[in-house]
Amino acid sequence: MKRNDILITLIVIGVIVLFIAIEPLRNWFMQWSGAKDWRYFLLAFFKFAILATLGESIGLRISKGVYNEKGFGLLPRAFVWGILGVVISVAMGLFARGTFGLFDYFGLNISGANLAEQSFGIKLLYAFSVSIFMNTFFAPVFMTVHKVTDTHILENKGSFTKFFSPIPFGRIIENLNWKVQWGFVFKKTIPFFWYPAHTITFMLPKEFQVLFAALLGVALGVILSIANLKKK
């Protein structure tokens, strides 16, 4: 383990300890995580901007031995992840509530108001159903958009200002490595990782769901680094 590895590990542990040990900080986090206004989405922005970008840096460490390099674009990546974090938070709410409607259609009287009173099996069925729907219908689009923005960042050598130039979606999508995107990212990671991972997410209390989803961004960084190695 190199010095940078130790430093990153100590920083992560230190931040976790701060949120556990300092009660006002912990209370603030819980209040904003459970808020039903702009605070919920602002916190989601920073959760994903920090944690998912960290995941990409770890992925770079796996593939190239460094956490950052010229042209990698940490700042634009963090900005993109923040925006995607807000979108993911919205999607989580939509699919979570929509699944209640589907259950009601089939005569299952389950809602957000009585879910806590249900058996473990019903809670697991609900969480798994939300995960299936979200990752089947939303995840492929999300992953493709992320791949396009990631390519745009690299093409502009990691410049934050140049990131806001028009993104050539058509050209980038046309030249994506669909063998890897479909054969590995979609076909393997969605059923074998994201289905069970987000089942756990929706088993958690609402205050921790977005945080856990953001933590999965660290896993995503590792997955993408493996995909890049497979591509090479």
How big is the chain by its Cα radius of gyration, in Å? 19
Cβ atoms within 10 Å of 163's Cβ, excluding its own: 19
**Mean pLDDT score, 207-216:** 92
pLDDT for 48-69, tens place per residue? 999 999 988 988 888 888 999 9
Lowest mean pLDDT among 11-25, 129-143, 216-230: 216-230
CB-based contact 227:184 (threshold 8 Å): yes
Give Cβ neighbours of residue 87 (< 8 Å, ≥ 6 apart): 142
Whether the pLDDT of residue 121 is over 90: the answer is: yes
Amino acid, res. 136 = T
Residue closest to 160 by CA, chosen among 64, 84, 71? 71
pTM to 2 decimal places: 0.91
Q: Which residue has the higher pLDDT, 91 or 107?
A: 91
The CA distances from residue 21 to 14, 17, 175, 209, in Å, are: 10, 6, 49, 21
The pair of structure tokens assigned to 104 is: 């009601």
Backbone angles phi, psi at 148, to 5 degrees: -65, -50
pLDDT value at residue 138: 97
Give Cβ neighbours of residue 53 (< 8 Å, ≥ 6 apart): 74, 77, 78, 81, 217
pLDDT value at residue 70: 93
pLDDT value at residue 107: 87
Domain ranges of the chain: 1-33, 35-231
